[in-house]
Each structure stands twice: as structure tokens, then as C-alpha cells.
Chains A and B, each alone.
Chain A
């Protein structure tokens, strides 16, 4: 008789597979008895069943690019048929020409958002933004403080050695003291990725501060996102749970993918991509998240959870922002962080009620990006040196 310990032992067993894929009365009865006699294995059995029926036999190989491309094509075709023009299959475009689709979509969005804005008065309103001075990325360790002008990639190994690669620069190796805390400061306008000592992968968005040890000693892995936004793929390790601390709540996981946003000037939230996480606030109340769910932190220290389209929250790590009827103020905040721009939203003008839908590719060229924002929200953008002005598009 096989010695069942873990769920994978069941997956190796033909009788188990047969029970799941082609059950007859005999098998049902036998496995029912088996579970009764071995209640401690019930969870492992359930896990084996879950694996087999989802990831095992039903794993999708549709990748992110294909997923986006297909959706864009669908949306495009639907809108086109709405516009009463002849529906015509668009020629399948290669991944490389995604940008072209984006442009088409921008055009359509422009058309749609104009319709929405018919009631707003075209009086002269303006949102003003200013380009701020560039700051360096800083890594502060026990011994020294290093600064980098360009976006960096850092990789820590198990012995606490760090390999640091700056875009367009030579690679650099730094020795870090065991288990001492390090701080990585990514200012607005910059981004970083790092691989922690346990192999977990972190993407840090602009305006983020992360504290982390060079090595994870002890029975927990802990990092602290003092501010900003991170996307993390936690390396699985059942024995050492991984904690992300923020000023308002803690996220506990074993191995999973999720996004934490903790900017002071936006709603703080956690979006789960894969696996399972638990969230804890100061009052010790625990909230669990399922994949594709977002938990928004509110001022009274509770979470509000909702189903979301995950992509809108993690697209930044792939170099674009995705919006769906997002207020222009939020769009400008996100663009502003990325390019280190500060926008002034003090006076409440109609312009701020506009929304954006579509994708913005975060290219090197700010003018291109602002022009896209203009198209998506039907506004006009002008730039005078370090000042940016956003105004209504004349009708």
C-alpha cells in the first residue's frame, strides 16, 4: 500500500487519478472509507484534487501579450460594429504592432469620451504640472550609502552579496552585512527591480521606499514598504512565511504574486494575482484575499474587498499603464510619479471630472505620453520648459 504523505503522493497514484477522472461506485466507496480512516490526509487529498482539475489538466498557455492583444481586437471589432460600419476581421497583427492597435483604440476612446463630455462647458480651465528635479536612487546599508542615476536591478544571493546592474552602466558587486537592514529609495521618475536573498522578485515603482535584510535569518521573511508601490513574486517556502509590512497593515504569504500600493496621496490597496494572502491591520483583524481580488484600505482600519481586473494594477511593471474610466486626476498622479511631475489639483474644475480609458505606454519621451493622455481624455497639452498645461479641447 502506497505511503501517502503529501498531495503529490496521491497524484502519483493511478487509483487516485482514476477516482478523479473516471469514478465508479467502487472507487467512490473506497476513497470515502479511506478519508474516514485517514482524516489527517483529507487536506492533502483536497489539494491534489484542486491541482489536478485546475492547473494540472486545465492550465492555460495564453500569455500576457496574447491576452491583451486578443482583448484589444475584440473591443475594436465590437466598437466597429457598433459604429455601423461593415464588420471586417482585422488582420491579425503581430505582437510588435500592438502600438498600432493602441493608436486605433485611442482614436475610438477619443470618439467615445467626446460624447460624454458634451455637457461640460468649454470655458478656459487648466491643470498645471511642473517637472521636478531629478533625484538619484539610493541604497543605504549599514556601512555605506550608494546612489545611482539610472534605474537599477539588484540581485542578492544567499550569502548577502549584491549584484547591482544599472541601465547603460557597468555591473557592480557589493558585500552587505548579514541580516542587517538595508533601505532602497526609489525617487519619483525612477524604477527598480530586485531579487531578494530567498529568490523572491520585487518590482518597485516610482516613489517607493523598501526596507529589507540582505539575508533572511530566523523563521520569518520580512520586508517593509515604507511608502510607494511594489509588485512581488514571493518564492515559495512553507516553513518561512513572508511578510510585507506597511504603515497601516501587514500582508502575510507563503508563495504568491501580488501588488501592494501604499502611496500617501492615493488609496492604499493590495491586489492578489496568484495564490493566497492574509492581511492584518493594527486591530489584528485578518482579511483573506483570493486571486483577482483587491483589498482597499480605508481610514477606519478596515479593508473593502472587490473583484478587479488584475492587469490594471500590475501593468506598470511591464511598462504601461492601463485605465478604465479612471478619473484624470488619478491618471495624472500615476504619470506624474513615473516622470517626476507634480500636478496641482487644488482648484476644483470641471476638467478634473474627465475620465480616461485605454493604455498609455510609458516611453522615454514625456511629450508622447502626455499627448496620449490628451487623446484618452480629450484634453490639450502644452509644455513650456518645466511647466505643463492641460486644457479643454475646443469643440
Chain B
């Protein structure tokens, strides 16, 4: 059983990343906040296994994603059946923030363009897995749980994203020059 104090410190540590993840999945602010509230209520009610959770952040990400997926599915209720499966492909948009860089606005915009162009060339699914793997730095078994696919499929998805970016943006000749 988590004490109020523990809940509070967990909240303070992770609420920002949870909120960001929820927004990236395409939900409105209020919906994400509701879902986070549910996640924390569940966390406090869950008396059994919680002390053994080694990776609290992962646990929270997973419950948030589950909760949001339920919401997503309930919204799709009236959509014809063949589209429901495609509904597994939730949107995923990463917000590129350059405002905290202490440089001219023009330079900031240039950086934003470069990053957005690269992220924009990926599919939603690829963007999400790249985010989970290289920004959040989850391992493949964890990502597999978050995306509800096999570890093998995760690896394939990541290498496909990498290959696609290499194809589009890799400048091999130039890089050989550096080395």
C-alpha cells in the first residue's frame, strides 16, 4: 500500500512525462488528465504487487496507455468493424520544442525544421517506437508490452524505421569524409 507521501513523490516525478506521452498519443489535455487521475487511483488501490515494481515509470506508462486505449476504442464504437483493427494504429505526434535554446529565433526555427522533417517522414507507429526506444530508452520487452506486439516485431519495426531514415537522410559520402 502506498502512503499519501509516496503517491505524491511518484506524482511529482512522473506526471510531466505521462502527460506528454498522452498528448503525443493524440488526446486532449483534459482527457489525458482524467486518464492520469485514473492511473494514480489504481496505483494507490493496488495493494499487492506494487512494492515489487522495479520500474515505476514503465508501470505508469503502461497503465496510462491501457487507459487511453480503452478511451480510444470506446470512441471508435460506432466505426465500421473493418476500421477497428486499424484503430490499433493510434496517432503519435512529437512536439519539437526549441524555445528553451538560448539562440536567435531564426536558428531555433531551423533546428525545428530539421527535426520535424525527419520525424515527419515516419509513420505514427514508427515515431512512437523511436520515441519509446531512444527518447524514453525502454528496452524491447517493455516496448513490446506498451505496443502490444511481440519483441520480434518490435525489433523489426525499429530497424525498419532506422533503414527508412537512412535511406531518406543518410549522406554516406559526406560521413566518410568526416571519418
Interface residues of A (CB under 8 A from B): 1, 8, 11-15, 17-18, 20-24, 26-27, 29-30, 33-34, 51-53, 55-62, 66-67, 70-71, 73-75, 77-78, 81, 87, 89, 92, 236, 255, 292, 307, 309, 324
Question: Given A12-B111, A30-B179 in contact, is the A77-B162 Cβ separation under 8 Å?
Answer: no
Please name the residue on chain A nearest to B94 by beta carbon: A57
Q: Is the CB of A81 within 8 A of B20?
A: no
Question: Given A74-B37, A74-B41 in contact, is the A59-B175 Cβ separation under 8 Å?
Answer: no
Contacts of B45 in A (CB 8 A): 78, 81
Please name the residue on chain A nearest to B111 by beta carbon: A11
Q: Determine which of A27, A29, A62, A78 lies in contact with B15 in the assembled complex, contact meaning CB atoms within 8 Å.
A: A62
Nearest CB on A from B37, distance (A): 5
Q: How far is the CA of A92 from the CA of B169 in the complex (A)?
A: 45
Contacts of B44 in A (CB 8 A): 78, 81
Question: Given A14-B169, A62-B15, A74-B40 in contact, is the A55-B97 Cβ separation under 8 Å?
Answer: yes
Contacts of B102 in A (CB 8 A): 236, 255
Q: Mark B137-179, 1 if CB is under 8 A from A, else 0.
A: 0000000000000000000000001110110011110110111
Interface residues of B (CB under 8 A from A): 4-5, 7-9, 11-12, 15-17, 19-20, 23, 29-30, 33-34, 36-37, 40-41, 44-45, 94-98, 100-103, 107, 110-111, 114-115, 117-119, 130-131, 134-136, 161-163, 165-166, 169-172, 174-175, 177-179
Question: Given A8-B101, A12-B110 in contact, is the A18-B165 Cβ separation under 8 Å?
Answer: yes
Q: Determine which of A29, A57, A78 lies in contact with B7 in the assembled complex, contact meaning CB atoms within 8 Å.
A: A78
Q: Is the CB of A75 within 8 A of B4?
A: yes
Q: Is the CB of B17 within 8 A of A58?
A: yes
Question: Given A58-B135, A71-B11 in contact, is the A78-B17 Cβ separation under 8 Å?
Answer: no
Q: How far is the CA of A53 from the CA of B16 in the complex (A)?
A: 14
Question: Given A11-B111, A74-B40 in contact, is the A309-B12 Cβ separation under 8 Å?
Answer: yes
Q: Is the CB of B131 within 8 A of A15?
A: no
Contacts of B30 in A (CB 8 A): 92
Q: Is the CB of A18 within 8 A of B166?
A: yes
Q: Is the CB of B34 within 8 A of A92?
A: yes
Contacts of A73 in B (CB 8 A): 37
Q: How far is the CA of A355 from the CA of B95 in the complex (A)?
A: 43
Q: Is the CB of B170 within 8 A of A18?
A: yes
Question: Given A74-B11, A77-B37 in contact, is the A21-B179 Cβ separation under 8 Å?
Answer: no
The 3 tightest CB contacts between A and B, nearest first, are A60-B16, A59-B97, A22-B162
Please name the residue on chain A nearest to B170 by beta carbon: A18
Q: Is the CB of A59 within 8 A of B95?
A: yes
Q: Is the CB of B7 within 8 A of A74?
A: yes
